[in-house]
C-alpha cells in the first residue's frame, strides 16, 4: 500500500513538472465519489487545482475527451460573455506545451481549475435546491443548443442506447465468467422482462431531436457554493449528442430517491414527489420554447429509463467481475443494480402521478 502511495506521488510529481506553476509545496487529497476516474485536490500556497487521472480503459479516446471539454468550455465562456450562461466554467489548465491532457507512463492526466469554495452534494435537500439543480442543468444544455454537434467526438458509442446495454447484459449472462448468475437470475429475468418498455424507449428515441447533452447529470456532477447554490456543471467526459430525456432522467435518478444509489435497504425506498415536481417544472421552464411537446412527454420516459439502464449496467458489471465501476465492497455492483431496479419500479408505479406533476 505504502509503495502504491509513493509511486502515485512520483507520478503526480512528473505530471506537475509539465505545468508552469510552482508545485514545490503542494498538499494532495482525494476528491469526490466518482466511479471511474481518480480525482485529487492540489493546494499550493498560491493556488488550488483539480488533478484527474482519466481512466483510459473506459475512455480510450482520452485525448478527444479533453479536447471535447475544451471546445465546450470555450463555447460556454462565449455564451457567458453575451449573458447567455450564468454559471462558472471550470477551465482545463494547459501544459507548458499547450496540451489539455498528458500521457505519463501508461496513465492519462489533466489539470483543472478548482472552483474556490465549491463542494458537491450527494443528495438534494429541499424543493428550492431541486429547482436550482434543474435550472442549472437546463442552462447548460440551452447554452450548448447552438453548439455544432459534429464538432465533438463520440467518446463512448451508444452510451445510453438501451438495445446496446441489453445486448451487453445478455453477453454477460451467457459468459457468466465469475459464476455469479445464480444469485441474480431473478433480477436478470426481470430486466429481460421489460421488453414492452424497451420497445417504447426505442420508438420515442427515434422521434426526438439530438442535442449536445451532458449524459451524466447526477447530482454530484454539479458544484455548489455558499447557500447551496449550483455554480458549475462539471464532469464533461460524456458530453456528446444525446437526448434531453437522458439528462433529465439522471437528475431524477439521483435526486428523487430517499436512498443512495448503493443503499441496500431498498424496502424503505420512496420517491420524493415534491422534488420531482420541482425538477420537471423548472427544467421545462428553463428551456422555454426550446423544448418540443414530444420532448416534454419524453422526460417521464427518461425518468424511468435512467434507473433501468444504469441498473442493467451495474448488473452487467457484477456478472463480468466488476471491471467497469469502482467497487468498495463485495457485491457492490449487485447492490447498486438491485437499488436502481427498485427505483425503476417506483417511478413506473408513480407514473400517473408524475404526469400530473409535469402539467
Q: Which residues bind ligand GN1 (CB under 6 A)?
A: 34-36, 58, 216, 218, 221, 235, 237-238, 261, 310
**Residue 300 in grid coordinates:** 417521464
Report the partner that residue 238 touches, choosing among ligand GN1, ligand ADP, Mg ion, none (CB closer than 5 to 8 A by kind).
ligand GN1
Cα separation, 135 vs 285, in Å, equals: 8
Q: Which residues contact 181 (CB under 8 A, 6 or more apart)?
A: 173, 188, 319
Q: Residue ranges of the alpha helices (H) in the chain?
A: 2-16, 62-81, 127-143, 162-175, 181-192, 195-207, 244-255, 273-287, 293-320, 332-349, 351-358
Closer to Mg ion by CB, 121 or 181: give it.
121
Longest Cα–Cα distance in the chain? 59
Contact residues: Mg ion, CB under 5 A: 34, 221, 235
Q: Which residues contact 337 (CB under 8 A, 6 or more apart)?
A: 184, 187, 311, 312, 314, 315, 318
Nearest distance from C-beta of residue 266 to ligand GN1, angstroms: 16
Closer to ligand ADP by CB, 80 or 200: give it.
80
Nearest distance from C-beta of residue 157 to ligand ADP, angstroms: 18
Cα separation, 196 vs 202, in Å, equals: 10
Report the partner that residue 345 touches, choosing among ligand GN1, Mg ion, ligand ADP, none (CB closer than 5 to 8 A by kind).
none
Closer to ligand GN1 by CB, 49 or 59: give it.
59
Cα separation, 254 vs 249, in Å, equals: 9
Nearest distance from C-beta of residue 213 to ligand GN1, angstroms: 12
Nearest distance from C-beta of residue 237 to Mg ion, angstroms: 8
Closer to Mg ion by CB, 129 or 220: give it.
220
Closer to ligand ADP by CB, 112 or 198: give it.
112
Contact residues: ligand ADP, CB under 6 A: 31-32, 34, 36-37, 39, 50, 90, 112-115, 118, 120, 220-221, 223, 234-235, 237
Amino acid at each position: 500500500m505504502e509503495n502504491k502511495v509513493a509511486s502515485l506521488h512520483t507520478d503526480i510529481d512528473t505530471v506537475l513538472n509539465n505545468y508552469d506553476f510552482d508545485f514545490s509545496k503542494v498538499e494532495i487529497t482525494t476528491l469526490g465519489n466518482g466511479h471511474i476516474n481518480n480525482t485529487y485536490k492540489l493546494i499550493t500556497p498560491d493556488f488550488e487545482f483539480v488533478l484527474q487521472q482519466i481512466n483510459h480503459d473506459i475512455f480510450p479516446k482520452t485525448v478527444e475527451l479533453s479536447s471535447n471539454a475544451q471546445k465546450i468550455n470555450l463555447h460556454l465562456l462565449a455564451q457567458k460573455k453575451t449573458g447567455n450562461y450564468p454559471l462558472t466554467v471550470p477551465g482545463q489548465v494547459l501544459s507548458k506545451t499547450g496540451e489539455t491532457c498528458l500521457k505519463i507512463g501508461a496513465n492519462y492526466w489533466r489539470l483543472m481549475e478548482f472552483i474556490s469554495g465549491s463542494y458537491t452534494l450527494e443528495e438534494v435537500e429541499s424543493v428550492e435546491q431541486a429547482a436550482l439543480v434543474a435550472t442549472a442543468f437546463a442552462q447548460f444544455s440551452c447554452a450548448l443548443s447552438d453548439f455544432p454537434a459534429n464538432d465533438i467526438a463520440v467518446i463512448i458509442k451508444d452510451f445510453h442506447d438501451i438495445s446496446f446495454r441489453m445486448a451487453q447484459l445478455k453477453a454477460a449472462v451467457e459468459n457468466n465468467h465469475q459464476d455469479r448468475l445464480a444469485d441474480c437470475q431473478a433480477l436478470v429475468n426481470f430486466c429481460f422482462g421489460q421488453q414492452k418498455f424497451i420497445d417504447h424507449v426505442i420508438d420515442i428515441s427515434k422521434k426526438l431531436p439530438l442535442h449536445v447533452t451532458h449524459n451524466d447529470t447526477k447530482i454530484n456532477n454539479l458544484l455548489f457554493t455558499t447557500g447551496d447554490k449550483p455554480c458549475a456543471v462539471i464532469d464533461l467526459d460524456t458530453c456528446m449528442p444525446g437526448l434531453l430525456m437522458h439528462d433529465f432522467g439522471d437528475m431524477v435518478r439521483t435526486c428523487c430517491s430517499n436512498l443512495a444509489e448503493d443503499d441496500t435497504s431498498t424496502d424503505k425506498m420512496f420517491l420524493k414527489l415534491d422534488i420531482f415536481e420541482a425538477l420537471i417544472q423548472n427544467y421545462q421552464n428553463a428551456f422555454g420554447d426550446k423544448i418540443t411537446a414530444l420532448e416534454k412527454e419524453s422526460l417521464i420516459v427518461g425518468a424511468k429509463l435512467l434507473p433501468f439502464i444504469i441498473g442493467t449496467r451495474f448488473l452487467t458489471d457484477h456478472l463480468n467481475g466488476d471491471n467497469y465501476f469502482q467497487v468498495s465492497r463485495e457485491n457492490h455492483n449487485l447492490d447498486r443494480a438491485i437499488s436502481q431496479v427498485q427505483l425503476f419500479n417506483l417511478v413506473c408505479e408513480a407514473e400517473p402521478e408524475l404526469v400530473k406533476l409535469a402539467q
